[in-house]
Amino acid sequence: MMKRTFVMILFSLRSIVGVDWCSPDLECVQGSRRLRNTMCKYKPQTGTDECKGIADVQTPDTRAKMLSLHNEYRNKLAGGEMQGWPKAANMMEMTWDDEIETVALRWAIQCVDGHDVCRRTSRFPQVGQNYAAQMASNDYQTGTNEMNFEGWVGEISLIGDPEAMVDSFRGGAWGHFTQVIWARSFKLGCGSANFEKASWKYSVDMCNYGPAGNVITLPMYEKGEPASKCPDGSVPSKKYPNLCASIKEAAGAVSSGPGGGYGAAGGKGVDEPVTGRVVIDSSGIGFGDGGASGGQDELKEKDDQSGDDGSGSGSESEPGIGSETGTETGSETGSETGSETGSGSGSNKTVVSERKNSAAQRCKLDSIIFLALKFIAATTIHSQASII
């Protein structure tokens, strides 16, 4: 069993290391501007002048926890257990994506409050994002995965007409919740990090979703009996009976449908991109054709590519959500999604499309070192657990 796990981890590591994150194919486009991918622009770091003790605190347990939180909630909603919300006929069971996690973690350790603007992956040009941070003055809090997730899905109370929202999505301060339950988002990858900033100890969860949800005017999901209208390439889940499980995940590769999806030959894949639509994030900022794997038409930035506490300017509602309890703890959240006709969106200085080979090589080397360290840490944790 250990040997099999080791081989699977090495295979996953090799597939991620093989990605050239500085390739123009993984850049994002806004008008005439090209934005570098988060994995190319930002490097692994353990501390800055403003942030101390930046640490990746992701473990196999936290991965499993965040994935189960999403699927259990989706299963309940799809089964009609949420008052006022119709049952879902086509809601997908989420599975973990190591590449999506890698990008989410790279952004989480940058010690910024908000969203990146080019988080696309080799599989998903459109990637959604939920962000949350728990803050404490004395020591890092425990159980933050659950707290942050509950903050996201707690936005369900802000939606007054669930039936209408399901039929045609509209933006508002509920973007975290709607991304969590978006039917066609079936891949999840989260990064968890701790750092100290301005005397506060932050516990951050950054979850990315493929493909992105929150597409204006599109239905959030199809109404009907649970798992009765599973998309091509999926079947009713054995573990979560109200959800649809990917055949590809359960039984290996199948014929590819148009748009890079998978299903019956010539069918519509569950990960086929939705194009030509206006997308809105949790703050009500819309962007349409030509925008994004995650970005905004207007974005207050740090270093030309980092978002503010949630979502920029020009919104229909207050950007982001922030709160503090007394002087000891607090939390802040942000959500962002994107859909594109071309690729990417956001705001950045013009990036020359031709990358020097040395830049690409440095990007690959950084990724190899970073992922190798993660592999060693994960192996150590597994070994310790086995000994105990």
Largest CA distance in the chain: 58
Q: Are 79 and 309 in contact (CB under 8 A)?
A: no
Q: Are 29 and 342 in contact (CB under 8 A)?
A: yes
Q: Are 233 and 247 in contact (CB under 8 A)?
A: yes
Amino acid at 211: P
For 323-348, the pLDDT digits (tens) are 333 334 455 556 655 443 333 333 33
pLDDT value for 18: 82
**Residue 14: band (very low, low, confident or very high) from pLDDT cuts 50, 70, 90:** very low
Q: Which helix (H) or strand (E) segment is 56 a member of?
A: strand 51-56
Distances, alpha carbon 180 to alpha carbons 66, 97, 121, 188, 223, in Å: 11, 15, 19, 10, 17
Sign of CA dihedral 107, 109, 110, 111: positive
pLDDT value for 114: 85
Tokens in use for 19?
């990605």
For 153-189, the pLDDT digits (tens) are 999 999 999 999 999 999 999 999 999 999 999 999 9
Q: Which helix (H) or strand (E) segment is 135 a member of?
A: strand 128-136
∠ CA 382-70-326, nearest 5°, is 90
Q: Are 176 and 331 in contact (CB under 8 A)?
A: no
pLDDT value for 112: 84
* The pLDDT of residue 289 is above 80: no
* Weakest-pLDDT range from 34-48, 141-155, 332-346: 332-346
